[in-house]
Amino acid sequence: MTEYVIIGALVLAVGMGGLVMLASSLKGQLTGMISPPAPLQPKAVAIAVKPTAVQPVPVVALPAASGSKKIKLSDGTEVLLNQVGESLQKTVETAGANGATEKMLADLQSLTQQLVASGKITESQANDLYVLANKGYQLAALERQIEDAAQATRSDRSFLNTSIEYNGKQYTVEEAGDLLGFTSGVDPDRNIQRNPDYVLSLTDANPETKAFIQLYNKVLKNGSMDDPAVKDVVSQLSSNITYLTDVVVDVVWGVQNNDLSVSQTQNHLVSLTTAFDSNGICGAGKGNSKSQTCN
């Protein structure tokens, strides 16, 4: 009899232990069911403002410098730019077509930054302007190689046969002439062709100049140039840039056709820019916006 009592007690003890373990397990499961889940960690989303195809040197807010001009927007806001008041001819004379292009692109970037900082345009609109500037830097890099080749060679044929690289492809200077400018050439003696509207049209534009103009048209439509003063500045800078691509190509064609020797290239560049623009956007030079005033 005693043995049965002991056995019964053991069974009871084991059963109680099982119930305790079961209760503990159920408590853990219920706790997991009613406890709030761990908060989701926000995902970092990278917003690209500047494209990565070509990375120009970042432009910061520029202090007033010799030749700098203040442009007043329609609401009275002022932006400071360093190149718009300069003569295109003088800039080309001192810095070459590529250097002049890069200076104007620095103004375009600086203008974009100031418009974003003052809330005049969105980051999306600014991104389109940066893409336009980056394409301009590509054009300037190609211009630089052509101008460097002209300075480094003494023979016309050697100049035309000089190998240069653009966007990972090899070209001769002669072949590169088909990438820039306009097929018919911009004749500085014809008013219609030195008008900014012409050199910002796709009429006869060669592939790389055409790509720049297409990006300009995108900016024109995205609302970032709704302010008349902004439109004046961006269109003038852009038209000067596209015109310079044709000026560089005119040098190549001149040497090809024996109308120009390689030793005359720099003087030819300067003479063509004099015909297009003499006083910068703030003056009344040929092809300029005469409505824009600068302080």
Please calculate the CA angle 255-261-267 and round it to the nearest 5 degrees.
Answer: 105
Q: Are 78 and 71 in contact (CB under 8 A)?
A: yes
Q: Are 67 and 83 in contact (CB under 8 A)?
A: yes
Per-residue pLDDT of the chain (295 residues; tens, 9 = 90+): 444 444 444 343 444 444 444 344 434 444 444 344 444 333 333 333 344 343 433 433 444 444 578 888 888 888 988 876 677 888 888 899 999 999 999 999 999 999 999 999 999 999 999 999 999 999 999 999 999 999 998 899 999 999 999 999 999 999 998 999 988 766 555 544 455 666 788 878 999 999 999 999 999 999 999 999 899 889 888 988 998 999 899 899 999 988 889 988 888 888 887 766 544 555 433 344 444 555 4
259-286 as b/e, with b when 16 or more CB fall inside 10 Å?
A: ebebeebbebbbebbbbbbbbbbbbebe
Specify the pLDDT at position 14. Answer: 40
Determine if the pTM surpasses 0.85. no
Looking at beta carbons, which pairs linking 190-196 to residues 24 or more positions away fall under 8 Å? 194/243, 194/275, 194/276, 194/286, 194/287, 195/287, 196/235, 196/236, 196/239, 196/287, 196/288, 196/289
Specify the pLDDT at position 276. Answer: 62
Specify the pLDDT at position 129. Answer: 97
